[in-house]
Structure 1
């Protein structure tokens, strides 16, 4: 955000400047882009596990999770638009135009999102602002998701109450989580470098 410019005339060249001229700018950009893809892999595995174990029966937790999924998708889509290349421009045009299929309000909604009658500077500026703001909203939704999860308890695949078999989170699960996180970071670094 310190070197990016959300202007249609300079957005693409500012991304090029970040990759070529800013110290380790290329690394930050590719970590950000590939990290988002890795985040989606983890997210889809989480949703798949939830479907497999029937976690959708906890409606509040599941619905907040689905809202989270759509919020993350929106954030990623808006980040995809920011480099403002041909794929970004036409991606923004086509995907936002899908909303025009909504009866009665579709066309008005699309023009409101665009900030005019076509994808232009106002659209890029809005998407840049929302790409920054939405992760904070996502963090709040994650807290609500976890609050509902702790209210109902996580799903036990065996169906047998496991209160007597519980072990403390720290150090057992802390070590597993840290090792899993380090493996993901290592994989991401290997992918980027």
Structure 2
């Protein structure tokens, strides 16, 4: 993980959101930081987290596919007819393999030939806790969270609104 200005201040802002939790918030923030401020211990913890999460997602995906192929998909019509079914292998597995190869090729092209294309220019400046960048703004994929946090004037209310906006996704299967 790059330890530049934007990374440092992004980690500081995001972890400080947990300080809004009553009673345990400040202790939780210090526990995540591994000290009293964002430092090397924090970077090590974030690197470990970012390294292990893809393996956890891969394991859950494999478990999902195993259970899906053992029990079958949900059939809302209730009809169990084998006349329209086709095998997963080779038809769907080859299609998925082709998609995986194309995505890996695109990712490798981006990483190997254009490594700095998606990086923030301020992140090439080494992290300095004494100088806050004047124009901090979140990346495009965090703008929804930033808008929710900014729409509520209270820090705890903003964190709760953000948490609830993510939890509402759990209701999607029931809607």
Per the alignment, residue 26 of structure 2 pairs with 107
Q: For the residues of structure 1 that align with 2:42 and 2:110, how far apart are their CA atoms? A: 32
2:91 counterpart (164, 172, 190):
172
CA shift, 1:130, in A, is 2.5
Q: For the residues of structure 1 that align with 2:77 and 2:67, how far apart are their CA atoms? A: 21
Gaps of at least 5 residues in structure 2 are 114-175
Q: What pairs with 1:73-84 in structure 2 (closer than 5 Å)?
A: 82-84=1-3
Q: What pairs with 1:18-97 in structure 2 (closer than 5 Å)?
A: 82-97=1-16
CA shift, 1:95, in A, is 0.8
Q: For the residues of structure 1 that align with 2:63 and 2:90, how far apart are their CA atoms? A: 25
List structure 1 segments (4+ residues) > 4 angstroms apart after TM superposition: 155-162, 189-192
Q: For the residues of structure 1 that align with 2:103 and 2:87, how far apart are their CA atoms? A: 24
CA shift, 1:134, in A, is 2.9
Give TM-score, length-normalised by structure 2.
0.52
Equivalent residue pairs, number:
112
1:130 counterpart (49, 62, 65):
49
Cα 1:90–1:182 shift into 2, 3 Å: same
Per the alignment, residue 118 of structure 1 pairs with 37
Cα 1:159–1:183 shift into 2, 3 Å: farther
Tell me the alpha carbon deviations over residues 117-161 of structure 1, each in whole angstroms, 9 at most, x when there is no partner: 110111112222222333333333223333443465324587754
Gaps of at least 5 residues in structure 1 are 1-81
Q: For the residues of structure 2 that align with 1:172 and 1:157, how far apart are their CA atoms? A: 23
Q: For the residues of structure 2 that align with 1:136 and 1:179, how far apart are their CA atoms? A: 21
Per the alignment, residue 141 of structure 1 pairs with 60
Q: For the residues of structure 2 that align with 1:103 and 1:147, how far apart are their CA atoms? A: 41
Higher helix content, 1 or 2: 1
CA shift, 1:112, in A, is 0.2
Alpha-carbon RMSD: 2.7
